[in-house]
Each structure stands twice: as structure tokens, then as C-alpha cells.
Amino acid sequence: MLIAVFSLTTLGLVLGLLLGYASRRLAVEGNALVEEIQAILPGSQCGQCGFPGCAGAAQALADGNAPITLCPPGGREVVSALSAKLGIEVNLADVAETMPMTAEVREELCIGCTRCYKVCPTDAIMGAAKHIHAVFREACTACGKCVEACPTEALALHPAPITLQSWYWHKPEERMAA
């Protein structure tokens, strides 16, 4: 009886000490994964995912507290990159449902208050005080910060217009008998 207790205790102690030493030697400073994830995210700090900026979202993703489809401006490209990085399977076809959006100014409502371009994280809005503002579609990530800032609801997110350059064939429908 005593032998059993003694030997188990010793064994536990020895293994515990070994593991303690190993964890000191193999300690991971910070989380390298968080940085890798942050490099994938758009970096516009828009906060649409509900986390404070892209660093917060990367931390949440690394901890497994957020779905990899959390980033609306990133679109399918970011989802597939995250899926490969984290090994989480996701049906890209479901993500495709979200259309690429851009902000647009309704010129008859814009009063030229300059609030929107002050909050735009990518400098995608051009304008001056008392002049109608305009959005550069190429730089807009559809983060929606300007929509919140606009006092006259002149800004809204619209689906990005399909042009001859962005149009492509849809995926063939599957009509397979089960």
C-alpha cells in the first residue's frame, strides 16, 4: 500500500518536473499564429466582425472563438486562405452569397459635412467641406463606417455594379438524381 502510494507519487513528481522544464524550454512567445492570421485579414480595422480591429479578430480566430467567415470585406479570398491556414472546412459556395458591396453617395442628400471621409479607413472618400463627396469604388472595402457617420443618410452600401470585366459564367447547376 505505502509502496504503491510512494511510487506513484514519485513517478508523478518526476514526470511533472520533466514537463515543467520542457514547457520552460519550449515556451511560445506570443502566438505566431495570430500574426500569420493578421497578415491574411484586410487590415482596414473596420470592426464589422465585432472585434476591435483586425488584431482582435486574428486573436479570436486563433483561439477558435470566431468563425472564419467573420470578415465581410475580405470575401471569399480571405475565407479560403483562413480555411487553409486553420484547417476549418467551409463551403465556399455559401460565402459566395454575400455580394461584393461598395459605399455610394446619394448626391441629392450629401451636405458636404466631411464626416465620412474622416472615418474612412482606406481614404476611399474624396471631398471637401460644402462639396458633394464621392467614393472611389476601387478603394472601398464596404466597411460601413461612413454609413454610420453620415448625418443625412446619403451614404449607403450597394452591390458593386457588374461590369464586362467582372462578369463571368455562373456555376453549372447540379441536377443529379440522388
Among 58, 70, 75, 150, binds other proteins (CB under 8 A): 75
**Closer to other proteins by Cβ: residue 128 or 162:** 162
Beta bridge partners of residue 102, listed in sequence order = 158
E strand map for the chain? 101-105, 125-126, 134-135, 155-159
Closest to other proteins by CB, 11 or 128:
11
* Residue of the chain from 97, 108, 123, 153 that contacts other proteins (CB under 8 A): 123
Say whether residue 129 binds other proteins (CB under 8 A).
Answer: no
Mode of pairing for the β-strands spanning 125-126 and 134-135: antiparallel
Q: Which of 49, 62, 116, 135 binds other proteins (CB under 8 A)?
A: 62
> How far apart are the C-alpha atoms of 167 and 165, rounded to whole Å?
6
Q: Cell numbers 457617420 label which residue?
A: 149
Stretch that binds other proteins, among 104-112, 117-125, 126-134, 145-153 (CB under 8 A): 117-125
Is there binding between residue 85 and other proteins (CB under 8 A)?
yes
Select from 33, 109, 132, 157 the one that contacts other proteins (CB under 8 A). Answer: 33
Which DSSP string do the residues of 51-69 spell out, in sequence order? SSHHHHHHHHHHHT-S-TT
